[in-house]
Amino acid sequence: MSDPQSPRQHGSGYYRFVEFCQRVWIYVLLLVGSLIFAWPFVWMATTSVKVDREMFVEQMHVWPQRPIPQIKSPYIDTRYYDDLSGKHLNELLPVLEAHLQKMDYAWPPEIDRATAIKQVARGAFQKLQNTMPVTIWDSNSLVAEATQRVDVAMVSDVLGQVRRVLLIGQLRARSYDLQEDQLVAPDKVSTGWQVGGTAEAKLVQVDDKSEPHAELRYDFTRGDKVTLSQTFQTSYAIARLYRLQLYLRNDDTWHPVTVYIEKLGKKYQAEQTYDLADFTSWSIGTWQEPGPDDKTNKVRTWNLLREIGPSPVTGLNDIKVTIEIDRNTQAGAWWSKMLRNYKLALQHLPFWRYMATSLFIVILNVCGTLLSSSLVAYSFARLQWPGRNFCFALMLATMMVPGQVTMIPLFLIIRALGWYNTLYPLWVTSFFAGAFNVFLLRQFLRGIPRDLEDASKIDGCGFWRVYWHIMLPLVKPTLAAIGIFTFMASWNEFMAPLIYLQDQRLYPLALGLFAFNVEGGVTTSMLMAGSLLMITPVILIFFFAQKYFIQGVTLTGMKG
């Protein structure tokens, strides 16, 4: 009697279903694996779009926050305490809001009182979490103790954290002779500028003992432009002007700021706009004309000024400065945020010089590796000469010698040759074939039929023509795989440039990014933007050349 569960009892539809499930399972595994391995790249890409305040928070988010181009400033940031959580949160928040409603506190008239009370209550709850003893949270006196602790001082402190406003500080002008004029004093900002434009705006002086400044309060409801302008006189000839520096603290509205200066009958405009992004600390906006600094490897914290036309300002000591704030759109704010860290990374370091050096080294390494490895592999695979097998085994044995062992002797050789602090050590060694690449090519060359070589010799080809016209075209897949390996190794090489190079002008991109981070003034987001720019060529080359890469690795070692 046959078993009803025997495979013979199943129809063809069952086997097709099983085969379909197996294929689906394989694709699911491939998809999950791809997502796991792509996670670092996704994290790097999203981090490169974030601003500083999104990096230094208690709860990290994968995706960057949406930039909001506020119409009015000052305003209350309703996202500052979005991640608030804790015991008794839902119970205590309404109590704190009611307590703030009744509190005799002078809420600023330029902000929405209801929104401010709601956000201050959330901030007060967080402060209570950090300061109030644990025993009180589980007692019956929680509400009374919490409302007692939320006093005027705490409300002012929390309100200062969630209130966003554009702060304007002093304006300084420095000459090439190190003379410096304070064009606008920090305690006279409100009277040092003329406020104009189509939008409603005004400067309100704030008597802060530590950092005197003025608040620029604006409203884009009826217009889309705010300007601050003034004509100043310097104590030195304006032709010797080196740079302008404006102290300000952003309000996170993502509106673009453009600076214009007029002097000696010419008008200049900043090449790039300054975005009112983030709010964490004071910053210094620096603008200067093209000069000697642009030819150095300094971290470039300045924005260049370019001539755009004539100006009526012609005095030898006169300069007119105009700061223009334009209203941004939601799409424009997103675009500014996505490009911000990339523009800063390209502006702060000589990226294209490092890129050109890396390309120069990569091209020579790829050419040298392919030429030398193919020649040596051809001699081992196709030519008969005494001691061939012994030399091949000896070459493979060198793969067991760690690079750390030969690092110091090689450095001494390079220094004796006079190649220290030059690019020669980074590419000359590629013309001496590596054991791994020779092994790959030799295995493939041994699988080529002898008949092709014999036929070419009958036609009068010598060893060189057989190598160039017969062998090389047949090993293109393996050469492509070796070329990709060499490109990735040379492009990402860090240790060799660190050992052999001292002049920063010779740095390749990998070492340049490291120096970029060490010199300071660089945020994590800017570093991620530069790193993403660096790995993009590697990813593109792998995707476009993966056919040859996989084919070369698969066919290596096959015979017949």
Condensed to tens digits (0 to 9), the pLDDT of residues 401-429 reads 888 888 999 999 999 999 999 999 999 99
Q: Minimal CA–CA distance to 345: which of 156, 116, 522? A: 522
Q: How confident is the model at residue 239 (pLDDT cuts 50, 70, 90)?
A: very high
Q: Does 9 have pLDDT greater than 70?
A: no
Q: Does 397 have pLDDT greater than 70?
A: yes
Question: For the segment 470-510, what is each residue's pLDDT rounded down to a tens digit?
Answer: 888 888 888 888 888 899 899 989 999 999 998 888 999 98
- Bigger pLDDT: 459 or 440? 440
pLDDT, averaged across the chain: 87
Q: How confident is the model at residue 203 (pLDDT cuts 50, 70, 90)?
A: very high
Q: Does 195 have pLDDT greater than 80?
A: yes
Q: How confident is the model at residue 70 (pLDDT cuts 50, 70, 90)?
A: very high
Q: How confident is the model at residue 531 (pLDDT cuts 50, 70, 90)?
A: confident
pLDDT for the residue numbered 421: 93
Tally of CA atoms within 13 A in the half-sphere of 68 that contains its CB: 12
Question: For the segment 290-316, what is each residue's pLDDT rounded down to a tens digit?
Answer: 988 887 777 788 899 999 999 999 999
CA angle 516, 520, 524 (to 5 degrees): 75
CA angle 254, 257, 263 (to 5 degrees): 175
> What are the structure tokens assigned to 388, written together?
């061939």
pLDDT for the residue numbered 174: 94
Q: What is the dihedral of CA 59, 63, 64, 66, to 10 degrees?
A: -110
Q: Does 257 have pLDDT greater than 70?
A: yes
pLDDT for the residue numbered 552: 53
Is 188 buried (19+), middle (13-18) or exposed (0-12) by CB count in 10 A? middle
- Bigger pLDDT: 55 or 246? 246
Q: Which fold has domain 352-555?
A: MetI-like fold (1.10.3720)
Out of 34-43, 164-173, 233-242, pick the least confident.
34-43
Out of 9-13, 164-168, 282-286, 378-382, pick the least confident.
9-13
pTM score of the predicted model: 0.82
Q: How confident is the model at residue 248 (pLDDT cuts 50, 70, 90)?
A: very high
Check the CA dihedral 467-367-445-437 and report its sign.
Answer: positive
pLDDT for the residue numbered 220: 94
> Inter-axis angle of helices 330-348 and 524-555, to 10 degrees?
80
At 115, is the secondary structure helix, strand, or coil?
helix
The average pLDDT across 112-139 equals 89
pLDDT for the residue numbered 256: 95
Q: How confident is the model at residue 520 (pLDDT cuts 50, 70, 90)?
A: low
Domain boundaries, the chain: 11-47, 75-162, 165-330, 352-555
pLDDT for the residue numbered 1: 43
The average pLDDT across 167-184 equals 93
Q: Does 39 have pLDDT greater than 70?
A: yes
pLDDT for the residue numbered 556: 47
> According to CATH, what is the number of the domain 165-330?
2.60.120
